[in-house]
Amino acid sequence: MSRIGKRPVPVPTGVTVTIDGKNVSVQGPKGKLSHVVPEGVSVERNDGVLVVQRASDSKTDRSLHGLTRTLVDNMVIGVTAGFSKTLEINGVGYRAQLAGKGLTLSLGFSHPVVVTPPEGISFTVQEGRATEPYRVTVTGIDKQVVGETAAEIRRWRKPEPYKGKGIKYAGEVIRRKAGKSGKVGGKKK
| Nearest CA among 15, 7, 10, 147 for reference residue 80 | 15
- Residue 84 in this model has a pLDDT that exceeds 70: yes
**Each residue's pLDDT tens digit, 11-62:** 999 899 999 989 999 999 999 999 999 998 999 998 889 999 998 888 888 8
pLDDT top residue among 181 and 31: 31
156 & 123 share domain: yes
Is 174 inside a domain boundary? no
111 & 142 share domain: yes
**Total structural domains in the chain?**
2
* Residue 110 DSSP code: S
Is 63 inside a domain boundary? yes
Of the three residues 34, 60, 80, the one that is the final residue of a domain is 80
pLDDT band at 132 (very low <50, low <70, confident <90, very high): confident
The per-residue pLDDT for 30 is 93
Q: How close are the terminal C-alpha atoms of the chain, in Å?
A: 73
| Residue ranges making up the domain that contains 94 | 83-169
CA dihedral 106, 112, 116, 121 (to 10 degrees): 10
158 & 100 share domain: yes
The per-residue pLDDT for 184 is 65
Report the largest interatomic distance among the alpha carbons of the chain, rounded to a whole angstrom: 85
The per-residue pLDDT for 76 is 94
**CATH number for the domain that contains residue 105:** 3.90.930.12
pLDDT band at 105 (very low <50, low <70, confident <90, very high): very high
- Which pTM does this prediction carry? 0.85
What average pLDDT does this structure show over 137-158? 95
Percent of the chain with pLDDT over 90: 63
71 & 109 share domain: no
Where does the chain show beta strands of DSSP type E?
9-10, 16-20, 23-28, 31-36, 41-46, 49-54, 83-90, 95-99, 102-106, 113-115, 122-126, 134-140, 166-169
- Residue 161 in this model has a pLDDT that exceeds 80: yes
> DSSP states of 143-173 as a string?
HHHHHHHHHHHHHTSPPPTTT--EEEETTPP
122 & 161 share domain: yes
What does the mean pLDDT of the chain come to? 90
The per-residue pLDDT for 188 is 58
52 & 128 share domain: no
pLDDT band at 187 (very low <50, low <70, confident <90, very high): low
